[in-house]
Amino acid sequence: MPTASAALGAGVHPTVTASRRLLGFLLAIALFVTVERVTRIFAGEYAVRVLAMCGINAMLAVSLNLVNGTTGQFSIGHAGFMAVGAYAGAITSHLLLGSLGHLWPGLSLLVSCAVAVVCAGLAGVAVGVPSLRLRGDYLAIVTLGFGEIIRISIESLAPLGGSQGWPIGAESIPATATLPWIWGGALLTVLVIGNLTYSSYGRALTAIREDEIAAEAAGIPTTRYKVLAFAISAMFTGLAGSLYAHDATGGQHIDPGSFRLDRSVDILVMVIFGGLGSVTGAVLGGVVVAVSLELLREFQGYRLIVYALLMIGLMLLRPQGLLGNRELDLRRFLPGRKAASA
């Protein structure tokens, strides 16, 4: 990815101070709040819901891209990490309901998300350590199995609602994750994974994708790095899961059926749509998938057939995905300023 090294917004002004960065983040959140309000007034609640879905998809796609795109491994069980995050978040919120959740719902959501991230990350390490020593298809098979184990385990756990899912009885998940929360989570995901991708660490990961033996000869402990990428990917997938569970625009309903293999495949489709290896491409892929699935509702029963045809069409016309392995750089379109190059 030669053209992309400094293309991400995050990597552009590396010297900005922490306080300015925090200010930027707060401004972004303020912008998201405005987007939410304006959308609600002019386009209604349904549009806000679609935007929230875009944010969750973006998080999922950017996370998976770190493993499947940048590092060149093949995971097809990310729905499992999403489930771990969703249930860990929901349980935490449930436990906090009487105390923190009552006093300060936002802080409760933060704690729930933190727990979700930790749990999903640990699950990532547990799956990654044994399987990432191996090359090629093994990871795909192990992650596939992992996803199914998680789903079936939850199904048979009555305290978690079994296959009926959550809410159990009258106990619903607090609807705390509004659009600014979800987009804030997506922004954080893009910043962290984007900065990681375009750094010495990301270079090491890309080197592993390009030639594992040469990467070892260049001093890179490949197994350790693959596990690192896999764990970070799982962490942010868990974050997406937790925000999905608390999604205030949706039904705050989670059940094991939401985390089947087809969810993993969906995430993979977003990454391939956007272009394997591109962070902004993954965001775009997530958005395109969410929006096109909604627009296709007109076709009713034929919706998924039309969707499949669209996918085939894109793969025939643009097999490298929308952005290939390049990054979208808005500054390229600004007059009088040359886009920074690596």
Partner 1 sequence: MSAALSVSDLEMHFGGLRAVAGVSFEVPEKSIFGLIGPNGAGKTTVFNCVTGVYAPTRGAITFQGKPIAGVPAWKIADLGIARTFQNIRLFGQMSVIENVLVASHRVTRASLFDVIGRTLRYVDDDRAMRAKAMELLAFFGLDDNADQVASSLPYGDQRRLEIARALMLDPKVLLLDEPAAGLNSAEARVLEGQIRTLRDRFDLTVLLVEHNMQVVMGVCEEIHVMDRGETIAHGAPAAVQKDPKVLEAYLGAGHDAITAPREAAPEQPAEVLLEVSDLRVAYGGIQAVKGISLEVRRGELVALIGANGAGKTTTLKAISRMLPMKSGSVRFAGKDLARVEAHELVEMGVAMAPEGRAIFPNLTVRENLEMGAYTVSDRGAIRARMDEAVGLFPRLGERMQQLGGTLSGGEQQMLAIARALMSGPKLLMLDEPSLGIAPVLVDQIFEAIDRIRRKGLTILLVEQNTRRALAAAQRAYVLVTGEVVLSGDAATLASDPRVQGAYLGEGVHLG
Residue numbers of the site for partner 1 (CB under 8 A)? 1-2, 5, 10-11, 14-15, 18, 191-192, 195-196, 199-201, 203-204, 206-207, 210-211, 213-222, 228, 325, 341-342
Dist CA 259 CA 163 (whole Å): 11
Please answer whether residues 23 and 297 qualify as being in contact, where contact means their C-beta atoms are separated by less than 8 angstroms: no
Dist CA 299 CA 285 (whole Å): 21
CB of 303 to partner 1, least distance (A): 36
Residues in the chain: 342
Please answer whether residues 33 and 181 qualify as being in contact, where contact means their C-beta atoms are separated by less than 8 angstroms: no
Instruction: Count how many Cα atoms sit within 13 Å of the Cα of residue 86 in the half-sphere of its side chain.
Output: 27
Amino acid at 235: M
CB of 206 to partner 1, least distance (A): 6
CB of 24 to partner 1, least distance (A): 12
220 vs 245 by CB, closer to partner 1: 220
203 vs 253 by CB, closer to partner 1: 203
Nearest CA-CA partner of 277 in 88, 64, 128: 64
Q: How many CB atoms lie within 10 A of CB 253?
A: 15
Residue 252: both structure tokens together: 């705050």
1 vs 59 by CB, closer to partner 1: 1
CB of 320 to partner 1, least distance (A): 12
CB of 1 to partner 1, least distance (A): 7
Please answer whether residues 61 and 285 qualify as being in contact, where contact means their C-beta atoms are separated by less than 8 angstroms: yes
CB of 213 to partner 1, least distance (A): 6
